[in-house]
Structure 1
Amino acid sequence: MRGPAPADASEGFSLVETLVALSVIAMMSGLFFDSISANAKLARNVAARREAMLLAQSLLAAATAPSDARDVADSGSSRNLRWRIVRAPRGGGARDGGIPLEEVRVEVVDRETGRRLTSVRTLRLAR
């Protein structure tokens, strides 16, 4: 009966090969988690901008409604957003046909960073 065959030096992995494989796996894992983190940050930014746009549109609608639009506050905050309404006279000259207009602009910024998220504006007849 023959005993087990002698082991060749080419069988199995050496310690260096194993360490190289582990370092490649670690680098790929780092890139993967960095990518996930960046995607999560982008998703938060998109959600914040969406919320800011909805707030700005509703404030603009309230500020330009035919009823008493001056009842809408000129500034305020909602959750993590700060907003302000800016009114400026426009038109009323011969070029505009003598129609007095008012520009109404709503600006929404992030309360923590102060970064502007959105700004919407429209024209309305001045009172």
Structure 2
Amino acid sequence: MRRSGLSKRRNGYALIDAMVALAIFAVMSALLFQTVNSTALTKRHLADSRRAILIAQSALSELQDEEGAGALRQGGRVGRFIWRSSVERLADSAKDNSKGLETISVAVIDSATGKVIVTLQSLRLAR
């Protein structure tokens, strides 16, 4: 009789052991899923940032070009990104009747969120 009572207790412990192992597996799976999701979001954010920087550099290059047709444009849209430009004359740059300097700024905005992703600035001779 002793043996049959002992084997029933061991069977009960085996079930509890299996349930504990399953709970540990579920927790580890949830942590792994969270890590993979976070990595995917970071990768997408970096890709968006790279693309926004390329758009801003391209627009800034057009605006710096003396004869470029893009110098007249104030903004545009590339995919889901919107870029805006502004040109401001520096106040102290033309004291001696020279052309002076202008600051060119280009901001790239994510149209889905409305957040500014990148802003680039440069100088050029005033026109």
TM-score range, shorter chain: 0.7 to 0.9
Deviations 1:39-87 (CA, angstroms, capped at 9, x unpaired): 0000000000000000000100010012145644101111010110111
Check whether the contact 2:65–2:71 (CA below 8 A) recurs between aligned residues: no
Q: What is the match of residue 84 of structure 1?
A: 84
Letter in 2 for 1:110: D
Cα distance in 1, alignment partners of residues 46 and 72 from structure 2: 27
Cα distance in 2, alignment partners of residues 14 and 70 from structure 1: 74
How far has the Cα of 1:98 moved from its partner? Answer: 5.3
Q: Which runs of 5 or more structure 1 residues have no equivalent in the other structure?
A: 1-5
Cα distance in 2, alignment partners of residues 59 and 72 from structure 1: 11
Taking structure 2 as the reference length, the TM-score comes to: 0.84
How far has the Cα of 1:99 moved from its partner? Answer: 5.1
Report the aligned-residue RMSD: 2.3
Greater share of helix: 2
Letter in 1 for 2:20: V
How far has the Cα of 1:11 moved from its partner? Answer: 6.5
Letter in 2 for 1:55: I
Alignment length (residue pairs): 121
Cα separation, partners in 2 of 1:81 and 1:70, compared to 1, 3 Å: closer
Check whether the contact 1:59–1:106 (CA below 8 A) recurs between aligned residues: yes
Letter in 1 for 2:46: V
Letter in 1 for 2:85: I
Q: Which runs of 5 or more structure 2 residues have no equivalent in the other structure?
A: none
